[in-house]
Amino acid sequence: MTLIVMEPGSEWPGHIGGSDDLVVLGSQPDGLRQKTRERLELLRRRGAHLRVAVLACNEALDVTSVVRRSEVARELLSALPRDGFGRLLLTTADHAPAPLRCELLSLAGGLSHEVRSTTLTVSLRFGRAATHGAAPRERRAHAG
């Protein structure tokens, strides 16, 4: 199963994989972490197997937004299996400004460092997934 969490004002990340997608939309930034927790708890109670978590990021760079984004990303990462396949994907618009790109690269790098002794992967994609033609630019953060 794939869980897609969208910050208010973020772009739809496009096609993620062949599994069932479940979407959490953040209409208010303050409630996104709580909505994410509730959805993850519901999935856990139902016995669903989360394999991919996606956080679609908007362009906000204020301190509150950056902290909230990091918290939601960590919630998602903690819900992924520590053995077997698990992937956290951070996405943002292809036209994202350089400061946002730097912030997201830093976040992805920090998260990758946290899971370095597991089989989890953390990656970052700029732009929607392509259904035809060229693939979007995707960076995989590596610890070290």
Q: Where are the domains of the chain?
A: 2-140
Predicted local distance difference test score (pLDDT) of residue 137: 47
DSSP β-ladder status, 52-56 and 86-92:
parallel
**pLDDT confidence of residue 46:** 92
Tell me, what's the pLDDT at 123?
95
Contact 115, 77 (CB under 8 A): yes
Name the maximum alpha-carbon separation found in the chain.
40
Please, what sign has the CA dihedral across residues 55, 11, 38, 34? positive
The amino acid occupying position 104 is L
Given this model, what pLDDT does residue 130 score? 56
Say if residues 130 and 136 touch (Cβ distance below 8 Å): yes
Task: Determine the residue type at 113.
Answer: H
Q: Which fold has domain 2-140?
A: Rossmann fold (3.40.50)
- What's the rounded Cα separation, in Å, for the pair 76 and 89? 10
pTM here is 0.84
What is the DSSP code (8-state) at residue 31?
Answer: G
**Can you give the pLDDT at residue 119?**
84
For residue 5, the one-letter residue type is V
pLDDT beneath 50, residues of the chain: 131-144
